Amino acid sequence: MSFKDLQLIKPILKAVEASSYVEPTLVQQRSIPLILEGKDVIVSAQTGTGKTAAFALPILQKLYDKQDAPKKGKKIRALIVSPTRELAVQIQQNFKTYAEFTNLTSLVIFGGASIEPQIDVLKKGVDILVATPGRLLDLHKQDYVNLDYIETFVLDEADLMLDMGFIDDVKKIERLCPENKQSLLFSATIPNTIEHLTQSILKDPERIDVTPTKSVAKDVSQVLYYVPKRNKIELCLHLMRNTIEGNVLIFRRTKYGVDKLEQTLAKNGYAVNSIHGDKAQSERQTALNKFKNGYVKVLIATDVAARGIDINELDNVLNFDMPNIPETYVHRIGRTGRAGHTGKAYSMCSADEKSYVKAIQNAINVQIPVETEHPYPLDPKAKPIVHKKQGSKYKKGRKSEASKKKKKRWY
Ligand code: AMP
Task: Note whether 284 and 275 are within 8 A (CB).
Answer: yes
Q: How far apart are CA 236 and CA 234, in angstroms?
A: 5
Residue 307 confidence class, pLDDT cut points 50, 70, 90: low
Q: What is the model's pLDDT at position 218?
A: 64
| Cβ neighbours of residue 331 closer than 8 Å, sequence gap 6 or more | 46, 47, 188, 303, 307
The angle formed by the CA atoms of residues 18, 23 and 25, to the nearest 5 degrees, is 110
Q: Which atom of ligand 1 is nearest to the CA of 23?
A: 19
Q: Which of 2, 4, 21, 29 to mutate to test the pocket of ligand 1 (most atoms within 8 A of CB)?
A: 21
Which pLDDT does position 391 carry in this prediction? 35
Contact 151, 77 (CB under 8 A): yes
Q: Give me the residue spans of the domains in the chain.
A: 4-209, 220-364
Task: Kindly state if the Cβ of 50 falls inside 6 Å of ligand 1.
Answer: yes
Among the listed ranges 130-134, 186-190, 240-244, which one has the minimum average pLDDT value? 186-190
Crossing angle for the helix pair 255-267 and 232-242, to the nearest 10 degrees: 50
Distant-in-sequence, close-in-space partners of 185: CB < 8 Å, separation ≥ 6 = 41, 42, 43, 154, 155, 158, 194, 197, 198, 201, 202, 205
Q: Which of 19, 28, 80, 157 to mutate to test the pocket of ligand 1 (most atoms within 8 A of CB)?
A: 19
Class level of CATH domain 220-364: alpha beta
Q: What is the mean pLDDT of the chain?
A: 85
> What angle (nearest 5°) sits at the alpha carbon of residue 41, between those of residues 39 and 44?
160
- The pTM of this model reads 0.63
pLDDT of 70 above 80: no
Structural class in CATH, domain 4-209: alpha beta
For residues 69-74, give the mean pLDDT. 60
Total count of residues recorded for the chain: 411
Of 91 and 383, the structure prediction assigns the larger pLDDT to: 91
Q: Cα of 247 to ligand 1 centre, how many Å?
A: 20
Alpha-helical regions (H) of 274-325: 281-293, 303-306
Cβ(126)–Cβ(99) below 8 Å: no
**Residue 217 pLDDT more than 70?**
no
Q: For 18-62, what is each residue's pLDDT tens digit?
A: 988 888 888 999 999 999 999 999 998 877 778 999 999 999 999
Answer yes or no: same fold for 4-209 and 220-364: yes
Using pLDDT thresholds of 50, 70 and 90, give the confidence band for residue 404. Answer: very low
CA of 338 to the centre of ligand 1 (A): 9
Angstrom CA distances, 352 to 236, 324, 358, 402, stand at 18, 11, 12, 27
Q: Pick 113 or 79 by higher pLDDT.
A: 79
The answer to whether 106 and 127 have CB atoms below 8 angstroms apart is yes
Cα-based distances in Å from 93 to 37, 43, 147, 410? 25, 21, 21, 28
Query: What's the confidence (pLDDT) of residue 340?
Result: 57
Query: For 171-210, how does the pLDDT look when each residue is reduced to its tens digit (9 = 90+)?
Result: 999 999 999 999 999 998 888 888 888 888 999 999 998 7
CA 341 to chain centre: 16
145 CB burial (10 A radius; 0-12, 13-18, 19+): buried
User: Model confidence at 220, in pLDDT bands (50, 70, 90)?
Assistant: confident
Verify whether ligand 1 is closer than 6 Å to residue 56 (CB atom).
no
